[in-house]
Amino acid sequence: MTKKEHVHIVWLKRDLRLYDNEAIFNALKTGKRVLLLYSFEPMLINDPHYSERHWNFIKESIVDLNNALKTYNSKVLVVQSDIIATINQLLTHYHISDIFSHQETGILVTYNRDKNFKRFCKNNLIQWHQNINNGVIRGLRDREGWNEKVDAFYAITPLPFQPKQQQLIAIEAINSLEQNFKVPELTTPEFTPFQKGGRTTGKRYLESFLSERYPNYMFHISKPELARTSCSRMSPYLAWGNLSVREVYHEAYQLKQTSKHKKALEAFMSRLRWQTHFIQKFEMEHTMEEVSVNKGFHKLKKSVSKAYQIAWKTGNTGYPLVDACMRCLNETGYLNFRMRALVVSFFTHNLWQPWQEATTHLSQMFLDFEPGIHFPQLQMQAGETGINMLRIYNPVKNSIEHDPEATFIKKWLPELKNLDTPFAHQPYLMTDMEQQFYNFKLGLDYPKPIVDLELSRKKAGDTLWKLRKDKTVLEESKRILKKHTLKNRIKNP
């Protein structure tokens, strides 16, 4: 009987990169031969939070990884299978004593999968090494000392990718292994409106941002059209791990030393830390995937209207900025942060829909879907944390302020492109005579508003402000502050 070769496995998840990848670095450091593995898991492919745009981004990322690995005569073993079944099959070919991966702060099904995988590893005498991901620390009870730990993590020089000669399993061996698995096709549509996956493309976005686009970052960050070029557009590359937050932070920091636009870079770097902060929240309290983190808001009951929800999802609410944002998001997978907050505010406050009803549509549409940001942000914008300022965005005020010429609105709502700017912001103000003049019929060419903006805003505000005084809400607010913020905030909830 032939003795099985002893190899280490690196299980790639949301860390689709070679450089500054601690799991890969630690596996290579052992000196053992290493197999890089990615599994398209049926439980995630079938999960309603994900969509084809995510899987295509991942496939593009893997193709880019494989191009980089050609230098080492290797590639990623890509399979479509549950991870336990995958490792079981690999155990028939190799002696596997160690598996390396990062700790994934994902949706509940991934957490349960990881618990099952941990038991599987223990039963098969496999050591599963998990490293922290982008500064998010598992097992914390509160934020005592968190800033110092994250500072220390960010201060580490990004890790190199330096495999020894023939340390990575060769392409020929991986091609042979593929005969034992269902192997997904990695080709993706060549022309799409989405950002392409992969480290190579992510680096190009970062380089163009730091060399040309960043000076207007602070001035355009809230503008739905201008933000598309003045923001970094790094979010999908960070969400899927084509680049690490640490290496992006380091590059921005280096530029800041000589830049004339230091405040723009400081604002960008603070948002990188902000990302770590929010994912840490989700890591410490994963129940916020399904219910409000503040238990006092569990008594808030809202009637579900599928008609309202369809109008919102398809961009047919009668409020141009909301509709332009939703159509843009559906088509391109991207919206700047303020507009994301605005469409959630409109859904939860003006349409008075439960935030849970928005979760899967938005997660499917956001190319940069990151669970640790997605769920805490939904709750914050819905006003159900009890610790954040209640913000009910006015879509008309925001469109006039942030899209004054209605450029963004007319781009995504072509039915309004021939209207003068004031009517593009508020087409429902047109008289019958004005509609005839523009050859435009409200309710036919573009919907009438499905809710009254001021009445719905008042109802939401009155209800939520009253509930914020509830005993349970107040007690929960103190608990949340104690768990998720620094001590000096607890005094002023």
- Mean per-residue pLDDT over the chain, rounded: 96
Q: Is the pLDDT of residue 186 over 90?
A: yes
Q: What percent of the chain has pLDDT over 90?
A: 97
User: What does the pLDDT look like over 8-53, one tens digit per residue?
Assistant: 999 999 999 999 999 999 999 999 999 999 999 999 999 999 999 9
Contact criterion met (CB below 8 Å) for 75 and 177? no
Task: Please name each of the domains of the chain with its CATH number.
Answer: 5-158+176-180 (3.40.50.620), 199-284 (1.25.40.80), 288-490 (1.10.579.10)
pLDDT-based confidence at residue 389 (cuts at 50, 70, 90): confident
Tokens of 458: 């008042």
Q: Which two tokens stand for residue 359?
A: 């979760």
What is the tens place of the pLDDT at every residue in 202-254?
999 999 999 999 999 999 999 999 999 999 999 999 999 999 999 999 999 99
pLDDT for the residue 488 = 53
DSSP-derived pairing of the beta strands 33-39 and 77-79: parallel
Q: Are 70 and 18 in contact (CB under 8 A)?
A: no
Q: Say how far apart CA 310 and CA 410 lie, in whole Å.
A: 21
Query: What pLDDT, on a 0 to 100 scale, did the predictor assign at position 492?
Result: 34
> What's the mean pLDDT in 283-303?
95
In the predicted model, what is the mean pLDDT of residues 284-313?
Answer: 96
For residue 491, pLDDT beyond 50 = no
Round to whole Å and give the CA distance between 376 and 292: 9
Which of 377, 392, 387, 378 shows the shortest CA–CA distance to 453? 392
Residue that is written with structure tokens 């099952």 in the block: 116
Spatial distance between the Cα atoms of 263 and 273, rounded to a whole number of angstroms: 15
Please count the residues of the chain: 493
pLDDT of residue 485: 85
Q: What is the pLDDT of residue 487?
A: 63
Percent of the chain with pLDDT over 70: 98
CA–CA separation, 56 and 179 (whole Å): 23
- What average pLDDT does this structure show over 305-311? 98
Find the Cα–Cα–Cα–Cα dihedral 77, 78, 82, 83, rounded to 10°: 40
pLDDT for res 490: 39
Residue 443 CB neighbour total at 10 angstroms: 10
The predicted model scores a pTM of: 0.96
* d(C-alpha 242, C-alpha 61), whole Å: 7
Residue 305 and residue 395 in contact, taking contact as beta carbons nearer than 8 Å: no
User: With 60 as the cut, is the pLDDT of residue 489 above it?
Assistant: no
- CA distance linking residue 150 with residue 391, whole number of Å: 29
Q: What is the pLDDT at residue 2? A: 73
What values do phi and psi take at 128, rounded to 5?
-100, 110
Contacts of 399 (CB under 8 A, 6+ apart): 320, 321, 406, 409, 425
For residues 319 and 16, give the distance between their C-alpha atoms in angstroms, rounded to a whole number. 39
Phi, psi of 94 (to 5 degrees): -130, 160
Q: Two tokens at 376?
A: 């805490």
Residue 358 pLDDT: 98
Distance CA 225, CA 126 (A): 51
Do the beta carbons of residue 456 and residue 352 sit within 8 Å? yes
Give the list of residues 6+ apart from residue 239 with CB closer than 8 angstroms, or none.
14, 368, 369, 370
Measured CA to CA, the distance from residue 247 to residue 316 in angstroms comes to 41
Question: Which residues are CB-neighbours of 7 under 8 A, at least 6 positions away?
Answer: 32, 33, 34, 35, 94, 95, 96, 169
How far apart (Å, rounded) are the C-alpha atoms in residues 469 and 386?
9
Spatial neighbors of 131 by CB under 8 A, at least 6 apart, are 22, 23, 26, 100, 101, 102, 103
pLDDT for 52? 98
**What pLDDT shows up at residue 356?**
97
Closest to 449 in 3D by CA, of 425, 418, 421, 415? 425
